[in-house]
Amino acid sequence: MRQLILKCLKYFIFFLFMALGAPSCDKINESPVPDVFISFTINLNIYNDLNVPGNAMYFPGAGFGGVIVSCFEPGIYYAFDATCTNEASRSCLVLKNEEFEHCPCLFHDFILECNCCGSQFSGIDGSLFKGPSSRPLKHYNVSLMNNYTLRIYN
């Protein structure tokens, strides 16, 4: 009987630590980029370069600092905010070229660099290559609604 009680106590303590530790994991993964409502669609017949794996486009005016949408492979897309996660400022974007500022533009550069701190991120999925930043770029949800419409949302 005593062994059964000790065994139950061990399981209770284990699950207690798991329950207390789980909420702290959420805080580690939170992005410093402020949450901004985002919901828009992209017609892949118009922006047909996004059908090509390795291509990405920047859409200003969405998200906190603009949204980058990339095609990993046919039917698999990523969307992430262009704001660097090191400083979370609208002036610290991972796009250095001023030409990206005002229009959706196609780019093939797989490494995006912050114009403030020099952190480098993948142009395909927003993962961190190197930096002073310690987090990947803030991701948004992507749904392929049909063969030619992407929905980007949070």
According to DSSP, the residues that pair with 105 across neighbouring strands are 58
Tens digits of residue pLDDT in 45-90: 998 888 888 888 888 888 888 899 988 888 889 999 989 888 888 8
Helix segments in the chain, DSSP class H: 2-29
Distance CA 51, CA 135 (A): 28
The 3-state DSSP composition of the chain as helix, strand, coil percent (nearest 5) reads 25, 30, 45
39, containing H or E segment: strand 39-43
Tens digits of residue pLDDT in 100-141: 444 455 455 567 888 888 888 887 788 888 878 889 999 999
Give the per-residue pLDDT at 122: 82
CB 33 within 8 A of CB 88: yes
In angstroms, the Cα distances linking 125 to 12, 52, 141 are 40, 15, 12
CB 67 within 8 A of CB 81: yes
CB 148 within 8 A of CB 44: yes
- 153: phi then psi, degrees, rounded to nearest 5: -160, 170
In angstroms, the Cα distances linking 105 to 4, 10, 47, 50, 51 are 66, 58, 10, 11, 14
Give the per-residue pLDDT at 150: 93
In angstroms, the Cα distances linking 23 to 1, 17, 18, 29, 31 are 34, 11, 9, 11, 15
Share of the chain above pLDDT 70, in %: 71
